[in-house]
Structure 1
């Protein structure tokens, strides 16, 4: 990975937020404990990548805002997602990772109008591609695009 290919701090924060939301759902641990764990044990590590480059740094404040924001506004975030699911589908029917991706993306679309919707959608589609090889990234793209139209009309 060349310096020009370095992952941006907000991209790392988004991925970490998805991982944190997933962790909270499967373990039942609260948001403050998960944010603290990420800050103390996962960020700012001197881990070398395959080419000797340090792994990208996370925007920790942005990460904490995403994780805490999803939890604080989860009812509205989930409602925005459910509105865009196929008729008869329930949020619980989705894979836990897909739920975490959609929740973080929907929160950002709804509560961070300073971030262009195209950036938000592209980032979360890329995150989805890192977890799924099937049609999930296309589904997440469509759902977030529809949520963006609802939230930013």
Structure 2
């Protein structure tokens, strides 16, 4: 692979990673503000506007702009399928750790990650685990990030054993 192609792939991966983080933040904002998807998308469009990002958020560079299409599909599917995603999360929790005991940020990370695993299969599963474990590390210590990693890993093992989607 030539260097220019490698840089383009790296940029695409960075933009997807930023879209994943933005989706977690958007789902969190949706939960705490109880707004509809259209209003949420209008608020988040500033995140994708280059001039707003540079002037208001002081973020420079195209590589830090999330992949808007990927973000939109991921966010919308997560919000639309929240009940199903919560049911899936609940299946992998123990008696000592129930869904209502998880912090909202942790729930949002798991919801978005599971949504990507279930509905957006173009990304390798191990990459999805790694990306959301890294997102968890941005908000939490090792224990919670390990918890996210463990839940997602168990889901993937079950998917492989049953040769099916979640």
**If the TM-score is normalised by the length of the shorter chain, which range does it land in?**
0.7 to 0.9
Q: Which residue of the partner structure matches residue 149 of structure 1?
A: 157
Q: Is residue 72 of structure 1 aligned with residue 80 of structure 2? A: yes
Q: CA deviation at 1:117?
A: 0.3
Aligned length: 147
Q: CA deviation at 1:32?
A: 2.4
**CA pair 110-151 structure 1, distance change in 2 beyond 3 A:** farther
**CA pair 37-113 structure 1, distance change in 2 beyond 3 A:** same
Q: Which residue of the partner structure matches residue 37 of structure 1?
A: 43
Paired with 1:37 and 1:106, the residues of 2 have a C-alpha distance of 24
Contact 1:35 1:67 in 2 (8 A): no
Q: CA deviation at 1:121?
A: 0.5
Worse overlay, 110-119 or 25-34: 25-34
**CA pair 90-13 structure 1, distance change in 2 beyond 3 A:** same
Secondary structure (helix, strand or coil) at the match of 1:113 reads: coil
Q: CA deviation at 1:48?
A: 5.0
Q: Is residue 140 of structure 1 aligned with residue 148 of structure 2? A: yes
- TM-score of the pair, normalised by structure 2: 0.79
Q: CA deviation at 1:54?
A: 5.8
Q: CA deviation at 1:129?
A: 0.3
CA RMSD of aligned residues (A): 2.1
Contact 1:121 1:144 in 2 (8 A): yes
Q: Of the candidates 116, 121, 131, which is equivalent to residue 124 of structure 2?
A: 116
- TM-score of the pair, normalised by structure 1: 0.85
Contact 2:77 2:115 in 1 (8 A): yes
Paired with 2:156 and 2:37, the residues of 1 have a C-alpha distance of 25
If you compute each CA radius of gyration, which structure gives the higher value, 1 or 2? 2
Q: Which residue of the partner structure matches residue 15 of structure 2?
A: 9
Cα-to-partner distance string for 1:84-124 (whole Å, 9 max, x where unaligned): 11125321210110000000000001111211101100000
Worse overlay, 24-33 or 111-120: 24-33
